[in-house]
Structure 1
Amino acid sequence: MKFNRSKFSAIIILSALIALQACKAKKLVQKPAAAPTDTVKVAAPVQETKPVIPVQETKPVATVQTPNYNFSNIQFEFNSSVLRTDSYPVLDQAAMNMKMDTTARFVLKGYASAEGTPQHNLALSQDRGNSVKEYLINSGVHSASLTATGYGVANPVADNNTEAGRIINRRVEIHKQN
């Protein structure tokens, strides 16, 4: 039985090789196109000599991009100084503009809504300012150019008697110092 099985295997392998050889793509040989019998004489093109005008090199003018210091407020959740992820693009843009002028100084003004004690809101607003400052420093802004200050519930920009107003008042404002 072993002898027959080995013969059968050899026959299968041989027939597979023959089948693969038969399936091999054949190259088509193209016949060269017949050469035209009529020849047309073409005259050599006449070259005109034009005066050479020297080209002056133009140097690209360096454009100085002025920083945009009109920053959006950074908003926070209730009783939190943790940066929201929607603040990252705003802070990245602010950091990019701050790094354009290394002599500029900025104040980060932290605020809180009118919920909680005045002492807690003052500490929370300071923590919010420090969170923004830390993010900007980690983004490459020099720490000496940033000052974080907490103002608590002072200077509300919206009504603290409504939830919508309190949400707007939980913020850090970024201002360029004059």
Structure 2
Amino acid sequence: MKQTKNLLLIALIAILCTSLYSCKTKKLAAKPATPAVTTAPEPAPTQPAPPAQVEKVVEKPAEVEKPDFNFRNIQFEFNSDVLKTSSFSILDKAVTEMKKDVSTSFILNGHSSAEGTPERNLSLSVDRANSVKSYLVNAGLNASRFTVKGFGEKEPVTSNTTEEGRVLNRRVEIKTN
């Protein structure tokens, strides 16, 4: 028992010595002394200096950059209100521009391609506009600034005869109110 106490005591002392050694602060290198600069005293002025002329400087107000609210090519997956990843950068730019003028309100016009029934396309276009609204509100914009409208397949930007045309028609346009 006595040997165990001695061994524990020796181990404790060794641990303390090791921890104290590792906790010592490093000495900082001494900063080089700056050389003393001696200057000759300035002669006292013999005559008082004339009062300085104060020029009036008229500052022009900084030109505020007007926001650019031209947002296009917000695209969606086929038969869905899920945004394509290529649209995120456009929406992020839209958020930046919309925060410049908080008094402007916007209309989110949802559109779809001509595939499907007119009722389904109208519903899908409204869902797409609401999807954009959710993205903008989640980015910190006020929801009351947005009005949602769905147009379905009624206002295509190009022909629905090709797949490329249909992709371009699955969109949301943001316009000022």
Distance in structure 2 (CA, Å) of the matches to 1:68 and 1:126: 24
**Equivalent residue number for residue 170 of structure 1:** 170
Q: Which stretches in structure 2 are left out of the alignment for 5+ residues?
A: 1-42
Distance in structure 1 (CA, Å) of the matches to 2:139 and 2:58: 37
State the number of aligned residues. Answer: 135
Q: Equivalent residues in 2 for 1:4-83 (5 A)?
A: 52=52, 54=54, 61-83=61-83
1:88 maps to a residue whose letter is F
**Equivalent residue number for residue 107 of structure 1:** 107
Distance in structure 2 (CA, Å) of the matches to 1:63 and 1:114: 45
**Equivalent residue number for residue 38 of structure 2:** none
Distance in structure 2 (CA, Å) of the matches to 1:55 and 1:94: 44
Residue 104 of structure 1 deviates from its aligned partner by 1.3
**Equivalent residue number for residue 9 of structure 2:** none
Distance in structure 2 (CA, Å) of the matches to 1:142 and 1:62: 27
1:151 maps to a residue whose letter is F
Residue 60 of structure 1 deviates from its aligned partner by 7.2
CA contact (8 A) 1:73 1:174 kept: no
Q: Per-residue CA shift, 1:80-99, capped at 9, x if unaligned?
A: 21112211111111112222
Normalized against structure 2, the TM-score is what? 0.66
**Equivalent residue number for residue 135 of structure 1:** 135
Secondary structure of 2:107 counterpart: strand
**Equivalent residue number for residue 152 of structure 2:** 152
**Equivalent residue number for residue 18 of structure 1:** none
Secondary structure of 2:125 counterpart: helix
Residue 158 of structure 1 deviates from its aligned partner by 0.6
Q: Which stretches in structure 1 are left out of the alignment for 5+ residues?
A: 1-45
Higher alpha-carbon Rg = 1
Q: Percent identity?
A: 48
Q: What RMSD in Å do the two structures reach over aligned CA positions? A: 2.7
Distance in structure 2 (CA, Å) of the matches to 1:79 and 1:142: 28
Q: Per-residue CA shift, 1:42-96, capped at 9, x if unaligned?
A: xxxx9x9998554666757333221111112301121121112211111111112
Normalized against structure 1, the TM-score is what? 0.65
